[in-house]
């Protein structure tokens, strides 16, 4: 049986690919119009894109053309994923020795002849300190190539299953249904026991004078009270439309915390900036809109066009209507929207959790609550 020889360049590509996928959670992406190069993305990393180029570059002019191509692809992906910044690590595996690399503030190019060249690179050591120890050192050979291929496939399968679990659509939205039922029951109680909603409004509505006196429960109870059947119907239809999506994305507990937290922050901003009593689930529902936008941003590489074509236009239209239609608690809506972002940030999107996000999100949220509470106390 003839020995199978593994090419040096193929072995380097596999080692690099294996490390970044299995150790740094990058994933391959399809870039149209390129040949003999591999693109990897991890938008959670300081270096968002890694490009591995196998093509031979023999002079500065060819390198300049190649850099322009990388820059165009970078800008396209940056725009498509709504990223504020995007840094590229450009790994060149076949460059003539006499060719000098071109500096670019957004693209760090590295030319290598062997894997040890990457281990000595300052960029690699700064951003990927595990590379030196985790990347395969010795010649891989055919068995090593099989092993790395198998580990790559296992990692990809695990990531696909994790992603499918997040996006699965076969779960009953128990929390959403429960919230709708509670809102309906509260409305029916107000109608049956009193014959109108005046008692519920006077007792549970969100009004700064009452909250200043210590009736802080109004910040919560006002979320479940509505001024009439039409008000209730509009909010519950909207909740039924967006609630199951947010519940599916975040899970029941996080979803409920986002809903209640957004409603409270909306109520708090309303009593600080408004002099009118307010009720309704709108602030909490706006918080759900914000949580879906936050989720879509975190998964923007997966949910292509999701934010632009689905959620954001709906939120913008609703906010415009809030300013145009008299009697709507605009501040409650804005507060709910801000609360949705902050609680989503603090609680984190599934499979995208970071300890730093938990800490920063909770700190910002607490500071905002304290600031609004102080403004409420001194309000006259």
Is residue 83 within 8 A of residue 48, CB to CB? The reply is yes
Q: What are phi and psi of 41, to 5 degrees?
A: -135, 145
Distance, in Å, from the CA atom of 211 to the CA atom of 267, rounded to the nearest integer, reads: 10
Q: What is the CA radius of gyration of the chain?
A: 27
333 is catalytic: yes
- CA dist 15 → 70, 91, 131, 134, 135 (Å): 22, 13, 10, 10, 6
Residue 305 is classified by DSSP as T
- CA dist 366 → 128, 155, 200, 205 (Å): 33, 38, 30, 24
Structure-token pair, residue 351: 């499979």
Residue 308 is classified by DSSP as I
Q: Which positions ≥6 away from 99 have C-beta within 8 Å? A: 57, 58, 59, 60, 63, 111
Single out the catalytic residue among 83, 282, 291, 344.
282
87 is catalytic: no
Distance, in Å, from the CA atom of 238 to the CA atom of 242, rounded to the nearest integer, reads: 6
Q: How many CB atoms lie within 10 A of CB 287?
A: 32
Burial class (CB in 10 A: 0-12, 13-18, 19+), 30: exposed
Single out the catalytic residue among 83, 267, 333, 344.
333
Which alpha helices (H) appear in the chain, and where do they start and end? 8-22, 60-80, 115-119, 122-127, 131-134, 141-167, 174-194, 198-204, 208-212, 218-221, 229-250, 252-273, 282-298, 306, 312-324, 330-347, 355-378
For residue 46, which of 14, 30, 24 has the smallest C-alpha distance?
A: 24
Give the catalytic positions in this structure.
Answer: 282, 333
């Amino acid at each position: 049986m003839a020995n199978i020889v593994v090419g040096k360049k193929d072995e380097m590509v596999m080692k690099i690919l294996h490390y970044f996928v299995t150790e740094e959670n990058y994933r391959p992406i399809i870039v149209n119009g390129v040949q003999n190069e591999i693109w990897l993305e991890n938008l959670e990393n300081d270096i968002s894109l890694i490009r591995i180029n196998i093509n031979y570059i023999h002079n500065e002019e060819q390198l300049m053309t190649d850099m322009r191509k990388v820059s165009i692809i970078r800008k396209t992906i940056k725009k498509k994923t709504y990223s504020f910044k995007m840094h590229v690590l450009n790994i060149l595996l076949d460059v003539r020795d006499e060719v000098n690399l071109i500096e670019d503030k957004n693209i760090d190019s590295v030319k290598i002849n062997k894997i040890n060249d990457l281990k000595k690179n300052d960029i690699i050591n700064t951003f990927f300190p595990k590379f030196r120890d985790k990347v395969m050192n010795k010649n891989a050979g055919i068995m090593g190539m099989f092993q790395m291929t198998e580990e790559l496939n296992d990692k990809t399968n695990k990531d696909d299953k994790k992603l499918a679990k997040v996006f699965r659509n076969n779960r009953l939205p128990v929390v959403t249904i429960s919230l709708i039922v509670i809102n309906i029951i509260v409305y029916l109680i107000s109608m049956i026991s009193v014959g109108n909603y005046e008692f519920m409004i006077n007792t549970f509505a969100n009004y700064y004078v009452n909250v200043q006196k210590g009736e802080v429960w109004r910040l919560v109870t006002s979320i479940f009270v509505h001024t009439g059947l039409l008000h209730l119907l509009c909010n519950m239809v909207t909740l039924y439309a967006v609630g199951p999506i947010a519940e599916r994305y975040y899970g029941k507990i996080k979803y409920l915390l986002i809903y209640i937290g957004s409603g409270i922050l909306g109520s708090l901003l309303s009593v600080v900036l408004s002099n009118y009593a307010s009720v309704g689930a709108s602030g909490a529902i706006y918080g759900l809109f914000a949580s879906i936008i936050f989720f879509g941003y975190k998964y923007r590489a997966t949910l292509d066009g999701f934010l632009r074509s689905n959620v954001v236009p709906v939120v913008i239209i609703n906010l415009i209507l809030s300013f145009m239609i008299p009697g709507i608690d605009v501040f409650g809506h804005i507060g709910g929207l801000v609360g949705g972002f902050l609680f989503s940030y603090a609680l984190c999107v599934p499979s995208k959790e970071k300890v730093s996000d938990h800490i920063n999100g909770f700190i910002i949220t607490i500071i905002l609550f304290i600031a609004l509470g102080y403004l409420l106390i001194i309000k006259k």
